[in-house]
A and B are shown apart, each in its own frame.
Chain A
């Protein structure tokens, strides 16, 4: 079978400018080109068959349909008419992944060791073997609970999506057994005869056998928003181009049609694209990479210290069993058990915040991905623009006027142009009357701009424009009764109607006409200037041409308007107008003016684009639209800044051919057709050398190529330093983080390929939403930028959280190391450590997620995936070796508790073996008193509690210093983040409860503590704060030093 879309067609289409009322059908093919390459080979040639051949092929009859029995048979053979949802990971696998991911594996090792040592101790008949059993159980519980928690968080965010994709079961009108039946669409089988009317979704791939004024919106398939007409004629070799096939999931906009189902479910075109999508691999999100890196780092430290001290303790002649118990302690102390849960909570808090700002995040980790985005490939229609044609300019009385294009225009006073000219009055009449669009009834209370209109995009724009200025258009039309009408068609390229006037004294008919400006002008002999008809001489025609070119050059769709009052004597009020024979004049009319329309940018977008620019994010526009329109919009939103030029602009300015222009342009408008012939190297070169790029006339398929090209880019160099441009071509390994927006089904591969795919919530197809990581609820580009801001903030704040958490690791680890080396009574127990990690520290670390940005994060470049790690050497070293070392305070508390009870520090050194001996019950302290084992153990627990309390106190200071990384706390404001204070109070509150409330529960190893011990660590906490302030001062004074 021949592939119908040959290059000739495409290029031909791309070069023709299009200001006509309706785009040339050939042009649309270009967008379909690459799609057909990939998919057409699988399609049968049903579009070529005649009706009777079809009936034979599918064993059906057009009048009778299939028999129910046969339909059931085929349904069993082919399965229901549904798209197989993408294979989801089984829930249990997701759950198990949470159970063994991250630190869990280390903790499981701890569990196993605890139980092994329990087994050994039990076999040896030791006194209290159950301690280790409990410890194992507690550790296992910790792993399982945090696993369940993470799983629950994940599931919650996935559920948001699930509710999204839930659709109302679709119904289809089918002829079966000679009767019309309403059936759920998933029951359709090949050979069914279905009827479609305007507003329906096409329930399967259908070969049309009857159609009346049928138009379909293929945008979900091709991205082309212009409705295409459908008939039963075989018009093209390629099944994707021919007009007699309608595709599953597209919408019938108007008209009716009957057709035979030729493909169902996954065998439909849409189904094939969906399967194409699942072929594109899912990349790990940047934050997942960061967390993995962090886990490796901490696990590395844990394992190496653990093994090191295992060796040390064995060589210090500790029993192997004891050494194993030490190992467990070291692992538990080193692993921040609560951290991953904290990260999840922080991310979901941000996700929630983003959802409020219309960014719905499907995958929690995508929250941060958005923050590290360095390139955004954005759609134009609907994302950057309002997705509705709006009148932007008027030309009458030889002058161009601008109209208001903002989203919320309400009254005529908002329109800035002069409405007093009689020419405007005439023009407004034509705009009102020569228009078939109507408001759907019952929307009187809605703002005009939000009302639903039946009619095509341009007519809608005109109707709303008229409604805003004149008010109640429907009433005006009713008063000026329409007596004849010729609707728009592509041969005439004009629309005409004849009306009575509402003036009872004026019996003339008014003929109004609108259409492609040059065609309208051809039919005119006069032109209205200030309400007076003047002959259309060459000078005035010239003026018209200039205005037409100017408006066209702004990428706007221009329409011409003219009218004629039919002389009363020739056309009395009884005159019968016949539109077929055209028994009325259609030439020598009076030209009144031009109106030009554009889909205007959303008002928030220019600001958002400039924010992106200052944030070092490159915004690339990818659109199926014409380059001129694309460029105009790009300029108006700032994607192409006012000062930059494309090669073509330079050529035009210098009046030289394009080829002679050296590569000095910073902006580029790349046509989809050029892109098709480009090697990936050429594409890289373009992406590298231009800071402002617009891809026009691209097919959704080409988006994938563009995304891949962007992902190869080195961040930060493109276009800014032309000298480096050569360089960036050769260092592919550091890819940019690319965000892509999309709505069509065809966008799904690109959405999936992108580091973060953003689907449109309103215009987006389900397939796009499924493939995306994020859904933009309001389809607004500006929302992406707020998302970026949130993403960057959370990255910064996670850094703080991690630094906060890591710091106390040293305070938890040192007791074990010192215990092993100097044989003092154990300063803090494993269970107590878990109470810090999973008790007092959780809320404060989450509280850091609420911290405001230190400086304008949108003035920074996006983070470099290679260099700006979540946890880097400096952070780890500073946390571990400097702030962590200040855990000293806890040791002071510990020694104080022992000394005040009778054990001076000198007595404690080296006592471990006797201290822990159950048989020694007359252990002598520094004052000659004798202690039983239990009395010592109880004192040891008091020591744990004191150590715990001190760590808590120092963590308060740690929390405060972690609020900022560069600025002084006083610059940041101590009280701005209220949640941090909630964290501090919760921390102290939990510690109080554990110490005094649960101090009598032996299993928890807490004892009530003398009140003064709470304050021993306070000077050290203050020292932490002062030290960190000094460090931050140095950082601010001498930035960049190592």
Chain B
């Protein structure tokens, strides 16, 4: 009420001190030590119970899952495309053909990426029949198909240790995201187009950017341990008059009716766009 007078500062301080610790009743913050103990004990038990409950339900939920394949794959019905090397700055390559330092990182990344495709690592892999889906549903141990690095031709890093960067013909590897059980139809291939014609010539390894169906389907990390996804190398021969210019390139997966490449919202579904700028 309006009649209420403000308590003097001193009094309210004393009240606060009383509240924090009241020597008469032994109350600390309004409760005795015993009361606080009980409260803490209660919450300990309560939260302990909740934690146990959470753990238990999560355990039950995990028990329902298979180790091999996820329960649902409807959120990834069609694969995205990705390139390697992947520059830190959003998919833009900048390098100086005559400065090895400027593209060292790209080269290192490619080299590292291709390590798992090294012949020595593929000793267990078998040679599959090209052009056909390699169905292994009935087989307990899924075999991985061999992907010969030689198929990447000049981009294999065998002849040219700089993957063409030193010559002004940089290589970019395009890969299709792994999706368990995905079986592409038709003849899928990667096709890249520069935004402006005439700035760059594009070579594909394997020829025409074909992706062989024998690498599909994928059976998941645990069943298909040595699986190697097929790669398509795109070699960009940049015209000498187009150096210093930024060249926008878009790669798409074509030739397969069940692989989407025109999604409005997902810019990486079956396609990928990147930029290259080279100086001499």
Contact = CB atoms under 8 A, between A and B. Distances in A.
Contacts of B175: 922
Contact of B58 (A892, A926, A934): A892
Interface centre among A896, A930, A1002 (most CB of B within 10 A): A930
B80 interface: yes
A939 interface: yes
A901 B70 contact: yes
A931 B70 contact: no
Interface string B59-85: 001100100111111011001111000
B57 A900 contact: no
A942 B75 CA distance: 10
Interface stretch (B42-50, B93-101, B122-130, B248-256): B42-50
A4 interface: no
Interface stretch (A234-242, A394-402, A883-891, A979-987): A883-891
A899 interface: yes
A919 B266 contact: no
B91 interface: yes
A86 interface: no
Contacts of A933: 266, 268
- Range for the number of chain B residues in contact with chain A: 35 or more
A932 B177 contact: yes
Contact of B3 (A711, A886, A896): A711
Contact of B50 (A733, A886, A924, A925): A886
Interface in A911-950: 918-919, 921-922, 924-935, 938-939, 942
A927 B180 contact: yes
Contact of B75 (A921, A926, A935): A935
A885 B47 CA distance: 8
Contacts of A895: 58, 61
Given A930-B79, A939-B75, A892 B54 contact: yes
A137 interface: no
A904 B80 CA distance: 21
A1042 interface: yes
Given A922-B80, A933-B268, A901 B72 contact: yes
Interface centre among A283, A930, A932, A938 (most CB of B within 10 A): A932
B266 A934 contact: yes
A886 B51 CA distance: 10
A881 B268 CA distance: 44
B177 A888 contact: no
A900 B65 CA distance: 7
A888 B54 contact: yes
B141 interface: no
A939 B77 CA distance: 13
A929 B76 contact: yes
A732 interface: yes
A882 interface: yes
A465 B40 CA distance: 75
Contacts of B65: 899-900, 904
B146 interface: no
A735 interface: yes
B139 interface: no
A934 B1 contact: no
B4 interface: yes
A283 B1 contact: yes
A102 interface: no
A838 to B, nearest CB: 27
A531 interface: no
B251 to A, nearest CB: 13
B10 interface: no
Nearest to A280: B2
A899 B61 contact: yes
Interface string B154-196: 0000000000000000000001011110000000000000000
Contacts of B266: 932-935
B54 A928 contact: no
A930 B62 contact: no
B69 A927 contact: yes
Interface string B251-274: 000000000000101111100100
A733 B4 contact: yes
B268 A934 contact: yes
Contact of A934 (B2, B79, B267): B267
B80 A930 contact: yes
Given A904-B62, A928-B178, A921 B70 contact: no
A892 B31 CA distance: 35
Nearest to B51: A888
Nearest to B57: A892
Contacts of B179: 929-930
B86 interface: yes
A70 to B, nearest CB: 48
A733 B1 CA distance: 8
Nearest to B35: A1042
Contacts of B88: 919
Nearest to B89: A919
A283 B73 contact: no
B90 interface: yes
B268 A932 contact: yes
A984 B62 CA distance: 31
B76 A921 contact: no
Interface in B226-268: 227, 263, 265-268
Given A899-B65, A904-B62, A919-B90, A935 B80 contact: yes
Contacts of B178: 924, 928-930
A885 B70 contact: no
B13 interface: no
Contact of B82 (A283, A735, A899, A921): A921
Contacts of A1023: 53
Interface centre among B1, B69, B180, B222 (most CB of A within 10 A): B1
Interface centre among A901, A938, A942 (most CB of B within 10 A): A901
A924 B177 CA distance: 9
A902 interface: yes
A712 interface: yes
B69 to A, nearest CB: 6
B220 interface: yes
A939 B266 CA distance: 13
Given A882-B46, A888-B53, A925 B70 contact: yes
Given A888-B50, A922-B82, A929-B178, A905 B58 contact: yes
Given A901-B75, A904-B62, A927 B220 contact: yes
Interface in B206-226: 218, 220-222, 224
Contacts of B222: 927
Contacts of B73: 901-902, 929
A926 B61 CA distance: 16
Interface centre among A283, A712, A927, A934 (most CB of B within 10 A): A927
A927 B73 CA distance: 11
B54 A921 contact: no
Contacts of A732: 3
Given A927-B69, A938-B75, A896 B61 contact: yes
B90 to A, nearest CB: 5
Contacts of A281: 2
Contacts of B50: 885-886, 888
A733 B220 CA distance: 74
A932 B176 CA distance: 11
Interface string B1-39: 111110000000000000000000000000100010000
Contacts of A942: 75
Contacts of A918: 90
Nearest to A903: B70
A118 to B, nearest CB: 20
8 contacts: A735-B1, A885-B47, A892-B61, A899-B65, A919-B86, A921-B81, A927-B220, A929-B220
Given A928-B218, A929-B76, A934-B263, 12 more contacts: A732-B3, A885-B50, A888-B54, A899-B62, A902-B73, A905-B58, A921-B177, A927-B70, A931-B177, A933-B268, A1002-B265, A1042-B31
Closest 9 CB pairs of A and B: A928-B221, A932-B80, A930-B177, A902-B70, A934-B266, A735-B1, A900-B71, A922-B82, A921-B268
